[in-house]
Amino acid sequence: MTDHTRSSSASDRPEFLPVGEEPGWGPPGGAQPPLGVHGFGQGWAPPTAPYGLFPGGPPPTGPVAPPRARAGLPALLAVVIALVAGGAGSVGTWLLTRAPAGTDPGYSLAAPAAGPTARPPESVAGVAAKVLPSVVSLEVRGNSEAGTGSGFVIKGGYIVTNNHVAAVSGQSGEIKIRFNDGTSASAKIVGRDPNSDLAVVKPDVRVKAPELPLGNSDGVVVGDPVIAIGSPLGLAGTVTTGIVSSLNRPVEAGGSTGSDYALINAIQTDAAINPGNSGGPLVNASGEVIGVNSAIAAVGASPALGQQTGSIGLGFAIPVNHVRRITQELITTGVARTSRIGITIDQGYQGEGVRIATGTESGEPPVTPGGPAAEAGLAPGDVILEVDGKPVGGSRELVVTVRSKAPGDKMTIRFQHEGQMKTATVTVGAAPVPAVRPS
Rounded Cα–Cα distance for residues 83 and 207 (Å)? 86
Are the beta carbons of 407 and 339 closer than 8 angstroms? yes
Cα torsion 187, 155, 250, 244: sign: negative
144 is catalytic: no
Catalytic residue among 196, 278, 294, 311: 278
- Phi, psi (rounded to 5 degrees) for 168: -60, -30
* Residue 69 one-letter amino acid: A
Rounded Cα–Cα distance for residues 287 and 281 (Å)? 10
> Given 3-state DSSP classes, what are the helix, strand and coil percentages for the chain, each rounded to the nearest 5?
20, 25, 50
Rounded Cα–Cα distance for residues 356 and 383 (Å)? 6
Rounded Cα–Cα distance for residues 56 and 34 (Å)? 28
Catalytic residue among 164, 217, 231, 322: 164
Helix (H) or strand (E) holding 421: strand 420-427
4 is catalytic: no
Are the beta carbons of 198 and 336 closer than 8 angstroms? yes
Return the C-alpha torsion angle 164, 180, 290, 221, nearest 10.
Answer: -120
Are the beta carbons of 356 and 345 closer than 8 angstroms? yes
278 is catalytic: yes
Catalytic residue among 193, 197, 270, 382: 197
Short-list 391, 375, 383, 365, CA closest to 427: 375
Short-list 439, 404, 413, CA closest to 192: 439
Short-list 148, 238, 198, CA closest to 336: 198
Q: Please state whether beta strands 354-355 and 339-340 pair in parallel, antiparallel, or not at all (unpaired).
A: unpaired
Rounded Cα–Cα distance for residues 65 and 59 (Å)? 13
Cα torsion 418, 421, 424, 428: sign: positive
Q: Is 2 helix (H, G, I), strand (E, B) or coil?
A: coil
Catalytic residue positions? 164, 197, 278
